[in-house]
A = this chain, B = another copy of it.
Amino acid sequence: MRKYVIEFIGTFFLVLAVCAAVRSQQELQSFAPLFVGLVLTAMIYAGKSFSGAHYNPAVSLAIFLRKKIRLIDMIGYWVIQLMAGVIGAIVAAKVFNYQTSLVSVTEPVAAITAEGIGTFALVFVILCVATSARSANNDYYGLAIGSVVVAMAYIVGPISGGAFNPAVALGLAVFEKLDWNSLWVYLVGSITGAVIAVILYKVLRLDIE
């Protein structure tokens, strides 16, 4: 029970941050990758010891493939993360009246690559700093994971927006930022990036020796 509530809270704040990041007519938009990454850093440090602090279905998939959680837990995490994405988007739209303009993906290959590369980087960093025996008990994992999200959001933001997270993408669709017909681009990109990161991690045997 506890771990689901923690996953809900972390994902909710992450999605709320992303909806704030894409709201229209705010001069603060250029800081958006920064504050999205920082809320993730804070929520990871807060929740890591309780739920693992995934806040992202692609990350839960990677941790499952990494054999750190069971299939049933992964599915439970997916449900709660997607719920948090929807509710975060509703709060942003209805309570805070954040407005945005709808965007459709016009270059799906570039967008899938952008989301895939960004999620690969995110999951690769997570696997190395938060699941490898070599870096056990470090205090920098939240900083490292937040940093890669900030950087990748700036790097591929102009291409795909930089969700790297199916729950965030679903929230953006509910928030009416993202065309529902473009949602698949984000799901395919993030899942593919996460799976490739796990495969690489296993092939290189980064947890062994």
Contact = CB atoms under 8 A, between A and B. Distances in A.
Contacts of A36: 151
Contacts of A26: 158
Interface stretch (A58-66, A173-181, A199-207): A199-207
Interface stretch (A67-75, A77-85, A132-140, A184-192): A132-140
- The count of identical subunits is 4
Nearest to A197: B9
Interface in A98-147: 109-110, 113-114, 117, 121, 124-125, 128-129, 132, 134-135, 138-147
A5 to B, nearest CB: 6
A46 B159 contact: no
A183 interface: no
Closest 6 CB pairs of A and B: A39-B151, A42-B148, A45-B144, A46-B128, A35-B154, A49-B134
Given A30-B30, A46-B129, 4 more contacts: A17-B155, A35-B151, A45-B143, A46-B148
